[in-house]
Structures are given as C-alpha cells and as structure tokens.
Amino acid sequence: MSKQRIPVAPSETQKTAKKSTGQAQKVGFVSLGCPKNLVDSEVMMGMLAQAGAELTTRAEDADVIVVNTCSFIESAQQESVNTILEMARHKTAGRAQKLVVAGCLVERFRDEIRKNIPEVDAVVGTGELEKILGASGVGGGRKVNSPFVILQSRAEGEAREAQGRFSREKWEGAIADLPNYLYDDETPRILATPKHTAYVKIAEGCDHPCTFCIIPQLRGKFRSRRFESVVAEGQRLAAAGVREITLIGQDTTCYGEDFGLKDGLALLLEKLAKIEELRWIRFLYAYPNKITGRLLETIAANERVCSYIDVPLQHASASVLKRMKRGGGAEVFLRSIAKMRRTIPELTLRTSFIVGFPGETEKEFEELCEFVGEAQFDWMGTFGYSDQEGASAHEIGKKISQNEVERRRKHLMAIQQKISKKRKKALVGREFELVLEGTSEETDLLLEGRTAMHAPEIDGKVLVNDFPDGEEPEFGRFYRCEITAAHDYDVVGRIVG
C-alpha cells in the first residue's frame, strides 16, 4: 500500500483557478495501492480539473469524493473497503454529495460494492478512467492547467466497520470484462508527487501466468504505450520542472513486445536519456528472464539512467518457482546477478520474495534463505503468501499456517537486515548526488533525501544532519552529499556542495 505523502503547496495557477471558478464542484481523492494506481488517480484528477472541477485535499470540503482502490491482496481489499466506509460518512453526515469508487476493487467486486455500500453513487474500473466525468457529475467549466496539486494518499490502517456490511462471504462476484484503457501523452494529468519527481506508466496489464497473482484479471492483457507518446510525456514533464522519472508497469521489461519492438525498454531508456533536463531515470519492475544484455549495457552507458534494477524474483527454490509458474532457480539467478554486476558498475539491486507459498517445505524455504545470503541484495522485501480467489494458487492444497508464514517472513528479513547493515556501512565516507526532499519524519532537526540508489517511497533514505551555514535548504534540489554513518536500512549524510 502507498505511504502518506508529504504535503506541498498548490501552484499559483491552481490558486488563481480557485478564485475564478466560483461555484465549481470541489473533488477530493484518496488513492490506495501502487504507483500504477497513483498514475490512474493523477489522470482522473487531470480530466476533472480540465472539466472545471476544483481539487481539494480535505475530504470535509469536498462535494465529490473519489476513492481509488487496491485489490492485490486481502489486506489491501480490506483497507479499500474500510476507506470507502470512512469516506461514506462525509456523505451521510457531511458536505459530500457523491461518492465514487474507482480502481482494482471495482474490477473484482463491481456489483457487490453497489449492493452492499449504498452510499456509493458510481463505480469506475481500471479500464474506464474516462468515465470519471459522468460518474462524478463534473462537466463544463474552464480548463485548469495546474501542473501540481496534492493527492491524499492513504496508508494501510486498522479495520473499522466493514465486517457485516461487506463481508468476504459476499465477495464472490464475477470478474468484470478485462480492461483495455491506456492513457497517452495527450491525456490530462495532474501530478500528485513532489514537483521534482514523477511516475510514467509505459505499459498496462500483464500476460505472465503467475499462480499467486490476479493482476491480469484486474488490469487486463499486457499492452504498451506508443514509443513516441512516452518520450513526449517525458519531455513535457522535464520542461515543467520534473528531474526524476520512474517508468512503471507490471513488467516494464516486456515493453514494446506487443508491437514487435525488440529491446523496447533499452531503446526507450536511450531516447529518454537524451532529455537534458532530466537527472535520474529508473524503471520498475524487471522480469528475471527479460533482462537482456542490451538493457544492461544501456543502463551502464547512460549517466542519467540510474544503476538500479528492481527484479522481483519471488523465490529461489526451483520447485516453488515451478508451482508459481515462473521458472528459474537459485543457480540461474546467481549467474544472472553476477552478469548484472559485471556489466553495471555500482549496481543497486532490489528484489522481493513470497514466503509460505502453498506446499513450501522447510527445505525449500532454507534454499531461499541460503540464496539471499549468497546474492547480497541492496534492498529486499518479503511478503507472506496471500491466498486470493481467482488466482491458480488458491486451488493448491497444503496451505501454510499464518503463524508459520510470519515466522518465515521474520527469519528471512533478519538475514537481510544483517546484509543491509553491512552494505550500508560500506558507503560511509563516499560521496553521492542527493535530492533533498524535506524535513525528516523522525525529527524536525534532520532533513532527508534520496540518492540514485533509493527509489521513491520504496527504499531507505538519507538523513541529513549537516547543512552549509547560511544556506537555506531547497527541497527538490540536487546536492552533493557525503555519507557519514549507517544504520540497518538508512544512512546519515552531510551536504558538501
């Protein structure tokens, strides 16, 4: 689930629009889930603003509230329902006149949402974002060209009152028709990220048959955006002041395959790297067997492309990976990792694993633990298996108890914690380019930022405790930083230029 975002002030254009729109409807957004969902929210906000709506970050001030939901795992589904119910109170006891539910939960439980939460006025699936205008009742009015506004982005929290009104027993509706919507560079969009960074969705959907995943049912078949469209959006974002773009898709390494483009991601990175205003370009996520030599060479050869690869391996035991319908294994992965590190100096490597997959034996889990110790990842996430109706793995017997799943998750993360601490200590005394992002969440006495080794909202951070006297910190600006201390996941640094 997404993290709470640090608020930034609306642009002067947005402030002017507020004064001139008069009785324009105020629309508030809550966006849950991954960056792909965030881009969908930004697109819907752009459409609404262009139609004359005024965007607000305060739910209590909104005439229309849109909740863009996540449905990837059960906890995400629960949080989506909880948030819908929380926002519904602004309609029953507050100012809001309409409540719209959008996103992945709609693709899975469209009819159930309307039936069990009567406060919901309309639903908008992932494949029908253009319907947000009709769903919200917003139309007409002057075009609003605000480049940046805030989107309220909610993190996963405790359960509230969903049980009884929207129980799991009622969640057995049919999957909606597979979505096929894909935005382009002409689509209105209002960024919800800090002004120096933005996500660019280069593809939608997925064709991989992973047995633990329902993304193809929620997002449709894999489809790439036009090459020229992605480049045009990158150029426009750079001209608007964005200095870091993160290319996203369920599998960015498949980019262009659906229209016969070989090494499409490498070609796209080469083209984007020619945009002089950009400082950092990265991509999420890479499928293990789609990382070509051309892609690695492109990353190594272009200074603006971050030496960073996020490749979710999911497991290291060949037998578990076979049940996941992914293929590969520890030996294959280690050879691939060695090639990546040979080709790309100073490579930052991130991965994620699922523990407790149905039938995972203690021996298979130990294979994974040994692999993590050998691979020495810079960043790693570990998730307990979540049993999903509609996913093939749901039919596999031999489910692992939740207590055992959690034990394995903690054990694997304890291994990685030691690795991370060692790798972070190795950075002490070195200098890196850093983007300063704001005051630390831990204390107002520290600033914090990221280097090219840190993807937005995913990895650790650099805590800045020493800033040049007499100079005012400028958030979104790039500085030179020396690492002076290391913790398990975060590092401490001082600005040196």
The residue with tokens 């890196």 is 432
At CB < 8 A and 24+ separation, what contacts does 164-168 make? 165/85, 165/116, 165/117, 166/81, 166/85, 166/112, 166/113, 166/116, 166/117
**Statement to judge: residues 371 and 460 lie in one domain:** no
pTM of the model: 0.88
Same domain, 12 and 130: yes
Judge whether 189 lies within some domain. Answer: no
Q: Is 356 left (phi over 0), alpha (psi -120 to 50) or beta?
A: left
User: Which pLDDT value is given to residue 165?
Assistant: 36
Return the number of other C-beta atoms located less than 10 Å from residue 15's C-beta: 12
Question: pLDDT at residue 84 above 80?
Answer: yes
Count the Cβ atoms, other than its own, within 10 Å of residue 496: 12
Please tell me the predicted confidence (pLDDT) of residue 177.
55
Is pLDDT above 90 for 436?
yes
pLDDT, residue 149, reads 37
**Candidate from 177-186, 187-196, 391-400 with smallest mean pLDDT:** 177-186
pLDDT over 60 at 112, yes or no:
yes
Last residue in a domain, options 247, 272, 306: 306
pLDDT at 179: 66
Looking at the fold, whether 71 and 156 belong to one and the same domain comes out as yes
Q: Give me the chain's average pLDDT, please.
A: 88
Q: Does residue 190 fall inside a structural domain?
A: no
Task: Please write the tens of the pLDDT for every residue from 440-480.
Answer: 988 999 999 999 999 999 999 999 999 998 899 999 999 99
Give the pLDDT band of residue 13 (cuts 50, 70, 90).
very low
- Among 306, 327, 360, the domain-final residue is 306
- Domain hosting residue 459, numbered range: 431-495
- pLDDT (mean) for 301-328: 97
CATH number at residue 153: 3.40.50.12160
3-state secondary structure of 201: strand
Residues 301, 202, single domain; the answer is: yes
| 380 and 349 Cβ atoms separated by less than 8 Å | no
Going by C-alpha positions, the residue among 201, 198, 191, 194 that lies closest to residue 49 is 191
Task: Determine the Cα angle at 129 with ends 186 and 245, to 5°.
Answer: 50
Summarize the confidence of residues 13-39 as an average pLDDT: 72
Asked if residue 341 and residue 268 are part of one domain, the reply reads no
The per-residue pLDDT for 139 is 67
Question: Mean of the pLDDT values across residues 230-240?
Answer: 98
